[in-house]
Amino acid sequence: MEFLSEAIEGYSQAHTSPESTLLALLNRETHAKVLQPRMLSGHVQGRLLALFSTMMRPRRVLEIGTYTGYSALCLAEGLTEDGLLITIDVNEELEDFTRSFFDKSPYKNKIDYRIANAVELIPTLPDTFDLVFIDADKLNYALYYDLVIDKVRPGGVIIADNVLWSGKVVQTDKKIDKDTQNLLDFNQKVHNDPRVSNLLLPIRDGLMIAYKN
């Protein structure tokens, strides 16, 4: 994921608004107790997600892939008074850990955390979403996009994480694995979709940002 030098990363972080005390604790606890802590959005990306949410003031947010809840807490920061964030994950083993941090947050009553198969659940959701964050299994990125695009209002935004896949999307000297190929296909799919205007932002592991026209 490290595309910038350590010095530039450090400088960027030092000149970004700090994490809340709860987010900093979640960051530390995830790294100390949970496998694959690099899956956490982290400080700078988390502040970017919070900034999107704060600027948009969404009433409904959908997150596909909760992990330990860091990104959900960031996205919840900009919710309207009657706002709701639905976050979906299949990993039951992390439920107690993740829910404990949701319960400590000021957004406890605005987060609907569901352990479910997103492919099965999303079609049943009646909501129209202002903001969608996709950060789950890479094999289904295109499917998740297809499932949510008609549920996003015009002017709404879909953000997909890990679309640079540690730089593998531009490697030409190695055999392309299935995850990388799926992300290559997903990035091209979004880029070619006339329903959206898109920006691939090379922050951390890459964010594809699609604004629904």
Q: Does domain 6-212 have CATH number 3.40.50.150?
A: yes
CB 212 within 8 A of CB 155: yes
Q: What is the pLDDT of residue 97?
A: 97
Per residue of the chain (213 residues), give pLDDT as tens.
667 788 998 999 999 999 999 999 999 999 999 988 888 888 999 999 999 999 999 999 999 999 999 999 999 999 999 999 999 999 999 999 999 999 999 999 999 999 999 999 999 999 999 999 999 999 999 999 999 999 999 999 999 999 999 889 998 777 888 999 999 999 999 999 999 999 999 998 999 999 999
| Nearest CA among 176, 133, 173, 140 for reference residue 156 | 133
Q: What is the pLDDT of residue 49?
A: 98
- The ranges assigned to domains in the chain are 6-212
CB 34 within 8 A of CB 100: no
Bridge partners (DSSP) of residue 200 are 208
User: What is the β-pairing status of strands 60-64 and 196-201?
Assistant: unpaired
Q: Residue 18 has what DSSP assignment?
A: P
Q: What is the pLDDT of residue 174?
A: 74
| Residue 104 Cα distances to 37, 78, 107, 124, 127, angstroms | 21, 17, 8, 29, 26
Bridge partners (DSSP) of residue 87 are 63, 113
Q: What is the pLDDT of residue 39?
A: 82
Calpha distance 77→74 (Å, rounded): 6
Q: What percent of the chain has pLDDT over 90?
A: 87
Q: What is the pLDDT of residue 1?
A: 61
Bridge partners (DSSP) of residue 115 are 89
Strand, helix or coil for residue 143: helix
% helix / strand / coil in the chain, to the nearest 5? 50, 20, 30
pTM above 0.85, yes or no: yes
Calpha distance 63→157 (Å, rounded): 12
- Kindly state the tokens that stand for 211: 């604004």
